[in-house]
Amino acid sequence: MTFRTSIESRQAKVGVVGLGYVGLPLILAYARAGHPALGFDIDPAKPEALLAGRSYIKHIPTDQVAEASDSGMLDATTDFSRAGECDALVLCVPTPLDEHFEPDLGYVISTIEALVPHLRKGQVISLESTTYPGTTDEELVTRVEAAGFTVGKDIHVVYSPEREDPGNPDFAATNIPKVVGGATPACLDAGVALYGAVFDEVVPVSSCKVAELTKLLENIYRAVNIGLVNELKVAADRMGIDIWEVIRAASTKPFGFKPFYPGPGLGGHCIPIDPFYLTWKAREYGVHTRFIELAGEVNRAMPDYVIHRTMEALNSRGKAVKGSRVLVMGLAYKADVDDMRESPTFALMDGLTRLGAEVSYHDPHVPEVGPTREHMEWAGTRSAEWREAVVRAADCVLIATHHQAFDLDELAQWADLIVDTRNAMAATGTRDGQVVKA
């Protein structure tokens, strides 16, 4: 039986390695579609939760996990030796930057090396982690072939970038077109079959490198445009112009313009990180990606700009930052999710703390700060209660993320000074001078 036949008949077992924001919705999609699905993660809490039918990601309801678990289609483990049970293995592991803003492929390499001893003929391996062009060929194909397999004949290797948008009500895992590139034509055919089993649309491309660069282009496009509007925000502020009003007016043009919005900095795993994967790889070819690097500089500078605006706002009330109590609203990097990866709120809290402010945060989606690679000093810090006394005690409330769960009417009643980085207070009645946009 070929892989295409087994996947189309729902007999193929699909393994998903890495059960985070990308891997969890993917494995649930296969289980819902009637495919035996086996999840792998080095964190034992995740397999334990799935086996108990419990979600650990806020925007993925527990009843979806429970349904998949009860169906008998979903299994999970920390034991990578079970990789041989799977007909396909999809790698959804992190690809962060190191301290020099260079790619850190440690998770990808350690994962494929853990899997290689347990591979067998007939399997399909797909990498979904965002990375620079050439990674799949250089890191996966070489290791599979070094183990004695012929890629394209014994084992098929593909690259298919994740396109998750946590918290987006319109797009879930399977209704987003799925780009797939293969190491060989036979690999591509297997990849199309693998993803065609659960995705509404599969977009085949000619190579893994094309698929890898496709993902980077998507995120670089956003990073550059956000950098542009962040730079314009600073200029507009100096000119006494409301950049949000400018964006609203420009958005009335029915062609040739797409609105992007300023903020306190970039967050999430993709946009702050992915462009630098291409910047690093381009240097190998003697190319200096100036546009990307400039956008990165602008976006990384935004937390400092917000802190400066907060200092000015406090000064206008005759208060110094040192000793002031600052309540930051929103720890998650984007609205209505619990994802705090690369959140610019950490940079805001770090910077204000260094200046001597007493900093707390409120986020109903993040009741407690979990462990992070770069901000361990905040681990265990709990979200402040949403009470009038807490808000009134703050010298300044800084809106870093605009969650729908926030009661902005109460904020307007209780807070003396609000620094708003998201234009969140635009539709709420406020007093003259109460809100400073940053």
Residue 140 CA, distance from chain mean position: 23
pLDDT per residue, tens digit, the chain (438 aa), is 789 999 999 999 999 999 999 999 999 999 999 999 999 999 999 999 999 999 999 889 999 999 999 999 999 999 999 999 999 999 999 998 887 788 999 999 999 999 999 999 999 999 999 999 999 999 999 999 999 999 999 999 999 999 987 777 787 778 999 999 999 999 999 999 999 999 999 999 999 999 999 999 999 999 999 999 999 999 999 999 999 999 999 999 999 999 999 999 988 777 778 888 889 899 999 999 998 999 999 999 999 999 999 999 999 999 999 999 999 999 999 999 998 988 999 999 999 999 999 999 999 999 999 887 778 899 999 999 999 999 999 999 999 999 999 999 999 999 999 999 999 999 999 999 999 999
Sorted by sequence, the CB contacts under 8 Å of residue 433 that are 6+ apart come out as: 316
pLDDT score for 100: 79
Active site annotation includes 86: no
pLDDT score for 59: 85
Sorted by sequence, the CB contacts under 8 Å of residue 110 that are 6+ apart come out as: none
Q: Which domains does the chain have, with CATH numbers?
A: 3-206 (3.40.50.720), 224-437 (3.40.50.720)
Nearest Cα to Cα of residue 386 among 404, 362, 365, 369? 362
- Report the chain's terminal Cα–Cα distance, integer Å: 61
Decide if 423 contacts 438 (C-beta within 8 A): no
Amino acid at 38: L
Name the pTM for this structure.
0.91
pLDDT score for 171: 78
Q: How far is the C-alpha of 343 from the C-alpha of 268, rounded, in Å?
A: 6
Of the residues 86, 187, 270, 396, only one is catalytic, namely: 270
Per-position DSSP letters for 394-425, written without gaps between them: -SEEEE-S--TTS-HHHHHHH-S-EEESS-GG
Q: How far is the C-alpha of 115 from the C-alpha of 91, rounded, in Å?
A: 10
